């Protein structure tokens, strides 16, 4: 028992100190830590794709994940780029239905994978843990609704600035191509160029050796607010 507790504590300390799991009761965190293991996914690798049978829950420890959805035929569009602390995979798994989105590695990622068999065992032995999963489902639903609301109601400049703030790394960079940014923002090429040019002109961002660098965080935050 002592060894299990020590192992759980070590695993838990390696998980991001932010996001859904970090906000749950400590006992639940420890159970989840013991149930999973770390896997490395290379850039461009798939966590899962639309139509896959659910087999695990995933938590992002390092790197960036892209969440994409089909918009017709075989075409998919990236709707969100997730940072460490993000968890996904619960919806289809708990609803016992196939995956509705594709999740892929935008960079090399370190992902904590908890298999479905372990999750079922946890819930069978600890039925009071159900609200923890409902909180994850609610969290991701509200995230999707926020992204949709911004897309429908905000002008391109504000949407673009808010997206950059979400994508910003600790070193002040956004490691994504301009083509990817345009797709994630859901903008036409003309609207994207105008929004991008505006942020460069006010000194909020600049391009630097294949990456986007945020040079004036305050200016970018101002650009993200309605006039």
Domain ranges of the chain: 2-150, 155-223
What per-residue confidence (pLDDT) applies to 104?
Answer: 95
Q: Write the pLDDT tens digit of every residue in 77-134.
A: 788 888 899 999 998 988 889 999 999 998 899 999 999 999 999 999 999 999 999 9
The more confidently predicted of residues 153 and 143 is 143
Task: Tell me how far the alpha carbon of residue 108 is from its chain's centroid.
Answer: 14
| pTM listed for this prediction | 0.80
What is the CATH number that goes with domain 155-223? 1.10.10.10
Q: Domain 2-150 falls in which CATH fold?
A: Jelly Rolls (2.60.120)
The more confidently predicted of residues 1 and 7 is 7
Q: Where are the alpha helices (DSSP H) in the chain?
A: 2-14, 26-35, 90-95, 116-125, 130-153, 156-167, 178-185, 189-201, 217-223
Return d(Cα 111, Cα 59) in angstroms, integer.
6
Cβ burial, residue 203 (10 Å; 0-12/13-18/19+) = exposed
Q: Quickly count: other Cβ atoms within 10 Å of residue 13's Cβ.
A: 9
Q: Quickly count: other Cβ atoms within 10 Å of residue 138's Cβ.
A: 12
What per-residue confidence (pLDDT) applies to 7?
Answer: 65
What per-residue confidence (pLDDT) applies to 156?
Answer: 78
Q: Where are the alpha helices (DSSP H) in 154-216?
A: 156-167, 178-185, 189-201
Share of the chain above pLDDT 90, in %: 39
Compute the mean pLDDT over every residue in the chain, rounded to the nearest whole number: 85
Q: Quickly count: other Cβ atoms within 10 Å of residue 66's Cβ.
A: 23
60 beta partners = 111
Does residue 105 sit in helix, strand or coil? strand
Return d(Cα 69, Cα 13) in angstroms, integer.
33
88 beta partners = 58
- Encoding tokens for residue 113? 């994978």
Task: Tell me how far the alpha carbon of residue 199 is from its chain's centroid.
Answer: 24
């Amino acid at each position: 028992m002592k060894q299990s507790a020590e192992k759980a504590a070590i695993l838990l300390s390696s998980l991001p100190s932010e996001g859904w799991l970090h906000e749950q009761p400590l006992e639940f965190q420890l159970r989840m830590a013991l149930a999973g293991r770390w896997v490395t996914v290379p850039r461009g690798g798939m966590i899962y794709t639309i139509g896959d049978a659910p087999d695990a829950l995933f938590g992002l420890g390092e790197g960036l994940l892209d969440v994409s959805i089909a918009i017709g035929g075989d075409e998919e569009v990236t709707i969100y780029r997730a940072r460490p602390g993000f968890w996904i995979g619960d919806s289809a798994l708990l609803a016992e239905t196939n995956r509705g989105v594709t999740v892929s590695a935008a960079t090399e990622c370190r992902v904590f994978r908890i298999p479905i068999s372990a999750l079922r065992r946890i819930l069978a032995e600890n039925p009071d843990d159900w609200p923890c999963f409902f909180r994850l489902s609610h969290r991701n639903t509200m995230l999707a609704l926020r992204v949709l609301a911004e897309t429908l109601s905000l002008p391109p400049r504000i949407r673009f600035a808010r997206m950059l703030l979400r994508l910003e790394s600790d070193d002040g960079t956004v490691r994504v191509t301009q083509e990817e940014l345009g797709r994630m923002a859901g903008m036409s090429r003309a609207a994207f160029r105008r929004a991008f040019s505006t942020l460069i002109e006010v000194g909020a961002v600049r391009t630097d050796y294949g990456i986007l660098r945020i040079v004036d965080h305050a200016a970018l935050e101002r650009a993200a607010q309605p006039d």
